[in-house]
Structure 1
Amino acid sequence: MQQHGRYLDLTTDYGFKHVFGMELHKDILISFLNELFKGKKVITDLVYNKNEHVGDTLKLGSVIFDLTCTTDDGSQFIIEVQRSEQDKFKERTIYYASKLISDQAPKGKRHEWGYVITEVYVIAIMDNFHFSDTKDYLHDICLCNRQTGEIFYDRLGFIYIELPNFNKTSEQLTSVLEKWLFVLKNMVKLNKLPNFLDDPIFQKLFQIAEYSNLSKREKAMYDVSLKRKWDEYSLLTSATNRGIRQGLQQGLQQGLQQGLQQGLQRGLQQGRLETLKENAQNMLALGLDLEIISKSVGLSIDEIKKLCN
């Protein structure tokens, strides 16, 4: 029997959808998005789009959940959680955004359209997956002038959240956004609503995310989602461990081979030097001139003189 925490894991497929993807409590998603935009954009309402986004192939099946919504000002959002590393991840998010833009063109009447494009944003929350080599946990990306840094187009944006890089404790949180990220990463480990989250929106979130409040059917769906995450994590850990073991074995084999080669080379060099010294000593015993001995054995006159001592 699976052991559950008191609250849902928000980085699972079902956990994320149950909290952020339901019309009944869309105020939770609105609150999160407004904190993410830090006043650059204010959302007062949104509707969830009925259709799922195109591109659900077998390779893209590891995407936990694509949530597409449209806000009250017509802006479109794709919010997804990505559990494991994926090839062409940047390209895939760019394709998704481009698809939302191209779908805005009226079919058959593009010449009458006038390219009136609403804002499009992709928000990717990454769990056990690194977006870059930096230690930053938040990446706000837009089109800009490469030379001056001036924003070229601000109605297409990508926000990537690296939860593995967010390691702040409750005492270190300095903003409401950081509280949200703390909840996303740590809610499943908590057994009660912390005092620093004693706010109506977080109170509602914790109530909705309490496992005991789910119906029997909802619990079953969450259990499947949670098992899927654990299985993926187990596969990732096994692959990582295999990679480490293989790396150690290859390194050991290479080290042994290099050691043998270096030892053999040093042995050959030492043997050759001893032979030259022996020949030089024999020539000295015969009374040959030092310069002649030097040219014969390839040793300097100083080295030959040392052999005389």
Structure 2
Amino acid sequence: MCTEGIIDRYVNFYTDFAFKKLFGTEMNKDLLISFLNALLHGREEIEDITYLNTEHIGTQEYDRRAVFDVYCKNNNGEMFVVEMQKGEQQFFKDRSIYYSSFAIREQAPKGVWNYELKGVYTIGILNFCFTDSRNKEYYHEVKLLDTRTKELFYDKLTFIYLEMPNFIKKEDELESMFDKWMYAIRHLGALEKRPDILREKIFQRLFDVAEIAKFDRKERYEYEDSLKAYRDWFSVMETAEIRGMERGMKKGMEKGMEKGMEEGMKQGIEEGKHRQLIDTARRMKELGMDDDLIAHATGLSSEEIANC
């Protein structure tokens, strides 16, 4: 059996293979149901979900395509787009809004329709932090609000973003099922055994499904390929960051040297002008001119003129 590159007991959640296996397969949908119920903090109870086609095309042939990580609806017909993001993208928020539009538009039936929509949830599990994030918050829930009154304008469109690096609670600080899911997701790949605090049956299911030793040969190869892709991606991003820092430092040094040379040249010119004035004052003194007249003509001080 292929074992190269795999030394962990459980899968790395941030690999595409692990995310799809744990949250995107019919046989393991109880994991996603539990996670979503914990995420919604009891506002509604999801009893079942139906996985939908993850690949979507616009209404026109030339429209752009969208491929979701996980796309499903619950027993009440509400739509869920669940995405796992390894790293920050320049227009990630735009992308998130764009993806939600498919879940809205696809609800339009053929024929007569009064425009009533089911709720749409777009959920991002992020292995990075927003650059504009404040106070190390890890949970963000975004809705349409009236900017003047701050009252909720529309309650059927919800964006939830989880900044996983900001979730720093330890085992003895976990209180809710949501805390436990956050902890399990963040630390899954680094755990050697199931933590005692995660005693619920659903977490036993999670660790059983995530245990690499229980994979068949095909799954093992697929996970290793996914893990390699994740490591390669991480290495590329880390290298790009280092190169960016190096270029920034080099540019800063060049700018500093350029500024230094500019200031040096300016100082040299000033010193040259001053020496020229001194020479002029000396010649004027040799011609017997009065010190006051020399000072007026050159702008030199009486002390400088006396030392000429």
Q: Return the letter of the residue paired with 1:5.
A: D
- Cα distance 1:186–1:79, how it changes in 2: closer, same or farther (>3 A)? same
Map 1:127-276 onto structure 2 (within 5 A).
Answer: 127=127, 129-134=128-133, 135-276=136-277
Q: Which moved more, 1:20-29 or 1:212-221?
A: 20-29
Q: Which amino acid aligns with 2:129?
A: H
Alignment pair present for 1:117 and 2:120: no
1:78 aligned counterpart, secondary structure: strand
Please, which runs of 5 or more residues in structure 2 have no aligned partner? 59-63
The RMSD of aligned alpha carbons is 2.4
For 2:97 and 2:217, locate their aligned partners in 1 and report how far apart those are by CA, in whole Å.
38
* Number of aligned residue pairs: 298
Residue among 70, 74, 89 paired with 1:71: 74
- Decide which of 23, 30, 34 is 2:33's aligned counterpart: 30
Instruction: Specify the alignment match of 1:53 in structure 2.
Output: 55
Say if 2:96 is the partner of 1:93: yes
Report the TM-score when normalising by structure 1. Answer: 0.88
Write the distance in 2 (CA, Å) between the matches of 1:269 and 1:182. Answer: 65
- Alpha-carbon distance between aligned partners in 2 of 1:131 and 1:55, rounded to the nearest angstrom: 29
Contact persistence 1:143–1:151 (CA under 8 A): yes
Q: Which has the higher helix share?
A: 1
CA contact (8 A) 1:77 1:123 kept: yes
The residue identity in structure 2 corresponding to 1:118 is K
CA–CA distance in structure 2, aligned partners of residues 98 and 274 of structure 1: 74
Q: Tell me, what secondary structure is at the counterpart of 1:32?
A: helix
* Mapped contact 1:53–1:66 kept (Cα < 8 A): no
Q: CA deviation at 1:290?
A: 3.9
2:268 & 2:170 partners in 1: Cα distance? 58
Alignment partner, residue 102 of structure 1:
105
> How far apart, in 2, do the equivalents of 1:187 and 1:79 lie?
19
* One-letter amino acid of the counterpart of residue 53, structure 1: E
Q: TM-score, normalised by structure 2?
A: 0.88
Identity of aligned residues (%): 38
1:88-132 alpha-carbon deviations (Å, 9 max, x no partner): 22222212211111111123x2xx2111100001101112x3334
Partners of 2:295 and 2:305 within 8 A in 1: no
Deviation of 1:156 (Å) = 0.4
Runs of 4+ in 1 over 4 A off after TM superposition: 284-287
Distance in 2 separating the partners of 1:106 and 1:118 = 12
Displacement of 1:46 in angstroms is: 1.5
Distance 1:275 1:102 in 2: 80
Structure 1 residues 174 and 284: CA distance shift in structure 2, 3 A: farther
Deviation string, structure 1 residues 183-224 (Cα, Å, up to 9, x no partner)? 112110010011122222212211111111111111111111
Inter-partner Cα distance in structure 2 for 1:55 and 1:281: 87
- 3-state SS of 1:197 partner: coil
